[in-house]
Structure 1
């Protein structure tokens, strides 16, 4: 094809393209741009306003925080004290009731008034003084002269509160031994008197006895009770054949009467030093006080021997012994004195899980459990069994 023919062809193509070429009007391009760009454009003033608000809020917070700290420091600062050279006579500091809250409130109320034309001169305080003391220093050095003395809580008070709590809430001992033994033997024990050790470690068993009686009001087998503390009427420890112990008798099992008797007994047991107890003296006292009973139920401390075993021949009724606690001896399950007392009076021995009622014919190897350990009877004693943890009764 010649150059003239090519040029003619190009011109034809240009003419055809011109006919289909879109218009270059500005309105058409704006519509097309609107379709292409769907994301809205936020004006600059919106961003500027947001940043300004954040800055204003932060500045306001810092100003408020500063004012708060300054106010707190002003309230906790003490009043300046006028030097002796600026006052003619220094008056003594006014007396203040020794209570911490009142002291602080009075110290704050006497704040100095600064930058005021009407300055007030207090007897002991002046605003111009450059010397300042913290409130704590002012209290300890100037005002709070006598420290607060809180009353001491004695052991006797703690025991009394615990006795009240146990009676009110019917609290049992950890092994519930009193409840378990009485439930097992209530049909066998008729017309009995209770003799209870009420030394400082034994009162929980007495309060548990009251709980059982309160739940079994129809049971009239207990005619009365005698509690002892191994102390005389002055609270001093008893000595056999020299001083007699003080006894606390209960005939009426109403709560008010029992509570008052238990409180009196607890106050008589503070000067009991030795472990040995006057169990037999208390049993003889119950024997004279309740002559019509058929037997006695002794709530005994298994950790204490008996100091007055020479009185054993005077006891004329069987003694059923509830063995409470451990002997504190590694190889002994029950105090030998308690075993002898039960055997001699034809009574019985009772633990939380076992009743030994026929002690005259007790066989060697008879097993009992005391304090979570297993013991066997051998030559008049209950001795610890080998592998006692394995043989412990379930």
Structure 2
């Protein structure tokens, strides 16, 4: 079976999306693609009680540029409940990073206010830039699940260019993960490991123009079109075949 989901924003016929009246606005006349991606995905859905797991390494700042609005909207209603920022180990030497215990994970509840949220965010950024390219995404997701059991929707704002170093921990993730793909440049392809996170947790994957919410309907051997790439589901996960 082949499922096609193109860049024009067309969807598998069984996919569903909910338009919310809660709106995040761009803070500049010309937002970056990363800013627009996160804004559009959040505006397309009516997710509440969100636990937001955010990679704050390297050049990811544009992916959470509207955090002030997220906090403000959360004070008006049930939006983002909890932030978890991760930096892949607080500048730990690459050779000393241990799967599952890499560290560099910081958390704060939205109701502590924007000043506290920004303080924790800046501490996470200041204490580590990531070092090597792979990150401790899954460790941060597991931390979120254990420290905020009342978070209903877990979103992962992920760096498309950084493959998680700790995919082996994915079977410990007990809630569906909504993966928001950031740093997806023009003429580039979605990292298949991000598809794996969405698929193996019963979650979904989201880009600027796409909400892929029916991955669980795929069987081994099936292919799916995601943007400009074609991916095949194997026993070990997704691989890009075109």
Q: Secondary structure at the match of 2:175?
A: coil
Give runs of aligned pairs for residues 1-394 of structure 1, distance below 5 A: 170-171=27-28, 173-175=31-33, 176-186=36-46, 189-214=47-72, 217-232=75-90, 236-237=93-94, 239-241=97-99, 243-252=101-110, 254-270=113-129, 272-326=130-184, 333-362=189-218, 366-369=224-227, 374-379=228-233, 380-382=238-240, 384=242
Q: TM-score, normalised by structure 1?
A: 0.47
Alpha-carbon distance, 1:241 to partner: 4.1
Gaps of 5+ in 2: 1-25
Closer, same or farther in 2 for the Cα pair 1:235/1:206, shift >3 Å? farther
TM-score (norm 2): 0.74
CA contact (8 A) 1:213 1:219 kept: no
Give the conservation status (yes or no) of the 8 Å contact 1:200–1:269. Answer: no
Q: CA deviation at 1:210?
A: 3.5
State how far apart, in whole Å, the 2-side matches of 1:259 and 1:213 are: 10
Superposition RMSD in Å: 2.8
Aligned match of 1:6: none
The structure with the greater share of residues assigned to helix is: 1
Distance 1:345 1:218, change over 3 A: same
Contact 1:334 1:381 in 2 (8 A): no
CA distance in 2, matches of 1:263, 1:341: 27
Q: Higher Cα Rg: structure 1 or 2? A: 1
Q: 1:229 to 1:322 in 2, by over 3 A?
A: same
**1:362 Cα deviation (Å)?**
4.4
Write 1 or 2 for the structure with the bigger share of strand.
2
| 8 Å CA contact 2:100, 2:139 repeated in 1 | no
**Secondary structure of 1:287's aligned partner:** helix
Relative contact order (C-alpha < 8 Å, sep 6+): which is higher?
2
Question: How far did 1:219 drift?
Answer: 3.3
